[in-house]
Structure 1
Amino acid sequence: MKTGRDNTGGTTLDAVQLRRAALTVGLRIAVACAVMVLAVIVAAAIYMLYLSHHPDLSAQDPGSARVYVESNDMLKAMAVAGLAGILAAGAIGWLSARSAIRPLGRALELQRRFVQDASHELRTPLAILDARVQLAQHKVADGTEASSLLAQVRRDTAGLTATVQELLLAATGDPDSPAAEAVDVSAVTQAVTDDLQDMAAARGVRLEFVHSGSPRVRIQPNSLRRAVLGLVDNALTHTPEGGLITVTAAADGRESVVSVADTGTGISGIDQDRVFERFARTTEPSPGGRRSYGLGLALVREIAAAAGGRVEISSTGPRGTTMELAFPAAG
C-alpha cells in the first residue's frame, strides 16, 4: 500500500551517511598506513645516514658485489612507493568498509519501511476513532460526565495521531517538517496532568499541578506533551499508594522548567546518570514491583536534547524524587 509520501528522503539520507562512514574508515586506514610508511622512511633515512658516517661498517666484506645508490634517489623512491601504498591502502579500506556496512544499510532501510508502514496503517484507524468519538459527542448533552469523558478521549486520540505523524516524519527524514513554535508550557503541562488524573486516582496517588507565570518554549506541542507525560508516568510508577506527585511549570531565568516531584522511596540500586538510558534497571524493585525504567525517561532525554534542553534528577532520597525538564525560554 502506498503511503502517499515520497519515502526516498530517508533512504537517501541513509545512503549519504553510509558513504561518509565508509570514507571515514578508508581515511583512518590511510592515515594509519601513512604513519607506518613515514616511520619506515625515517628509520631507513637514519640508517643510511649512519652508514654514510661509518663507511668502515659497509666495507667488512670486500669480496662482495656492491651497488651504490645516491641517498636522495633512495629517499625519493621510498617516498613514491610509500605514497602509492597509502593510496592503495585507503582505496582498499574504503571498498572494504562499503562492503562491510552494506548489510547495515539494508537493515536501516527495513527499519524505516517498518516505521513508515506502521505509522501509515495507524493513521486510518485513528481517524475513524476520532470520527466515531465526534458522533458520540453529538448524541450526549453538553456538560455531562459522558461529554467530558468523550472530549478527553478525543484529546488522547489527537495526541496519539500527532505522535504517529512525528514517527512518520522521523522515518522519512522529511526536511520540510513544520518549524517549532512557541508553546505555552503551563497549558501543555496542565493538560497532561488533567489527562492522568484518572490513572493517578486508580493507583491511590494524588496528582497536583502548580504553575508560575506563562513560560514558553520553542518546540512541537506534542513533543513537549510526550516529554511531560514521560516524567509524570515515571513518577506514577514509582510512587506508592497514598503518595503525592506535584507537577510544576515555571520560568527560571532564561529557561522554562517543568519539575515533577513525587513522594516515592527515591532512586536506589542504580547510578543516577544511568536512569535516562534505555531499559536501565535497578537492583531494587519499585512499589509496583518494576525494576526497569523502560524507554520513557530515555525518550524524554531525546526530546529535550533535540529542542536544546535538558532533563536531570534534581534531588532524590527516601522522601521522594524531583526531576526537572528545562528548555531555553522562547523570546
Structure 2
Amino acid sequence: MTRAPIVDSDTLAIRRASRIIGTQIAIACTAVVVVVILAVVVYILSEISVAELVEPVPDPDNLKVGAVGLLRAAAVLGVALIILAGVMSWAVARRAVQPLGDALRIQRAFVADASHELRTPIAVLDARLQILQRALPADGPSSAVVAELRSDAKRLIGIVNDLLESAEIGGSAPTEDSVVDVNAAVGVAVESMALIGAEKQVTVKLDAPDAATARVPASAITRCVVAMLDNALRFAPTGSVVSVQVAVTKKTVSVTVRDRGPGIQGIEPNRIFDRFAHSESAADEVGVTRTGFGIGLSLVREIAVRYGGSVTVADGSAEGTAISFTVPRARTP
C-alpha cells in the first residue's frame, strides 16, 4: 500500500503565507479595477440621458456603438483584468515567500545536524546508566533513582529521534495501526512533570473524565504533553495549579494544558509554535527570569501535523495561557 507523502508544518506555513499575500494583492487589484469601471460607468451616464442609453450612435465609418455596448465592453475588460490580477498575485506571492522557504530549510538542516550530534552522547549516557544499574543491588537505595535516570535518558533519545523526523522533508506518512489510550499516555507525562512542579510548589492536575483513544503512538502523545507542561511550569506562579484536561468529541481528542502565568507577551500567539521563536522574558516573584518558547512547542506542532491533528493557543490572556493539542479520535470496536 502506497503511503501519502508527509506535508510538514513548514510547507503548510509557506502555503498559508502564499495564500494570504496572493489574496491581499488580488483584493487590492480588484478594488482598483472596480473603481475604474465604476468611474467609466458614471462618466457615461453623466454624458447621456436615459432615453439615449439604448440608442446606437452613428459613426462616420459605419460603426455603430451604443452606451450599453460600451458598458458591456467595460465589464468584460474588468473581469479579464481581475482574472489577470489574480494570476499575477499568485505568481508574485510564490516568489515573495521563497526566502521564507529557504530560511525554514536552513533551520531544518540545523535541527537535523544538532540532533545527530546529540544522539551519540545521549546513547552513551544511557549505556553507562545501564551498566551502573546492573552493578547496583536491586533493593539498593540508589536503584530507583538510576532507573528514573535511565527513563529520562530514553525520553531524551525519543525527543532527539522526533527532532530528526521533524527535520526530514518528504518521506512516507507514519501510520499507527493500534488504538492508543490517550488518557494513559497523558497520565505518564503528568506523573513525570508533577515532580518538577513540586519543586516549584506548583500542582499539576489531570482531568480526564471520558475514555479517549487515538491512532497516535503513546510515546508521541506523552512527549507532546511533557513539552506543553514544561512550558506551563516555566511560567506558572508559585503556589498555582497547572491543569491538564482531556476532552473528547465525535471526531477528535484534545489535550489542553492551562497555566496561571502572565500570558503570552512580546509575540503573536500563533508564532510560539515556530521553531526557535521566543516570547518576551518574564520574571517570577523572586526575580528569576523565565525565557519563552523554544523548540519544545515546535516539536508538538510537528507531531500534531504528522498525525492529522493541530495545536492551537486556546487562551493567551494576562490570566494565563492554555494550549490545546488535538488529534483525530479512533473508534474502538
TM-score > 0.5 by shorter chain:
yes
Would the aligned equivalents of 1:282 and 1:291 in 2 still touch at CA under 8 Å? yes
User: 2:133: which partner in 1?
Assistant: 137
Which structure has the larger Rg over C-alpha atoms? 1
Residues 181-232 of structure 1, C-alpha deviation per residue, up to 9 Å, x if partnerless?
A: 42363575357535764x567x485979889999554344334434246437
Counterparts of 1:191 and 1:136, CA distance in 2:
25
1:130/1:154 contact within 8 Å kept: yes
Q: How has the CA–CA distance of structure 1 residues 104 and 143 changed in structure 2, closer, same or farther, with 3 Å as cutoff?
A: same
**Cα distance 1:216–1:157, how it changes in 2: closer, same or farther (>3 A)?**
farther
Q: 1:54, 1:206 → 2: CA distance?
A: 78
Give the 3 Å change call, closer, same or farther, for CA 19–190 of structure 1 in structure 2: closer
Deviations 1:1-38 (A, max 9, x none): xxxxxxx9679973x86467546644543443334323
Q: Which residue of 2 aligns with 1:183?
A: 181
Counterpart CA distance in 1 for 2:206 and 2:264 is 30
Residue of structure 1 in register with 2:102 after alignment: 106
Deviations 1:84-118 (A, max 9, x none): 43344334433433332221121011111112222
1:161 is aligned to 157
2:32 is the counterpart of 1:36: yes
Q: Cα 1:288–1:171, aligned 2, differ >3 Å: closer, same or farther?
A: farther
Distance in 1 between residues matched to 2:22 and 2:246, nearest whole Å? 49
- Partner of 1:145: helix, strand, or coil? coil
User: Which of 222, 236, 246 matches 1:225?
Assistant: 222
Amino acid at match of 1:164: V
1:46-195 superposed matches below 5 A:
46-53=42-49, 69-172=65-168, 174-179=171-176, 181-183=179-181, 185-186=183-184, 189=187, 193=191
Q: Is the 8 A contact 1:140 1:146 kept in 2?
A: yes
Calculate the TM-score normalised by the size of structure 1: 0.61
Query: Which amino acid counterpart does residue 142 of structure 2 have in structure 1?
Result: A
The change in CA–CA distance for 1:212 and 1:114 in structure 2 (over 3 A counts) is closer
Write out per-residue CA displacement over residues 227-247 of structure 1, whole angstroms, 9 at most, x where no aligned residue.
Answer: 24643774487565xx6x888
CA distance in 2, matches of 1:270, 1:23: 27
* Matching residue of 2:292: 294
Q: How many residues get paired?
A: 296
Matching residue's letter, 1:299: L
Unmatched runs of 5 consecutive residues or more in structure 1: 1-7, 57-66
Identical counterparts, % of pairs: 28
Which residue of the partner structure matches residue 4 of structure 1? none
Computed over aligned residues only, the root mean square deviation of the Cα atoms, in angstroms, reads 5.2
Q: Hey, what's the Cα distance between the residues in 2 that align with 1:151 and 1:182?
A: 25
Q: Name the amino acid aligned to 1:124.
A: T
Instruction: Give, in angstroms, the shift of residue 155 of structure 1.
Output: 0.6
- After TM superposition, the score normalised by the length of structure 2 is 0.61
Gapped regions of structure 2 (runs ≥ 5)? 53-62, 273-277
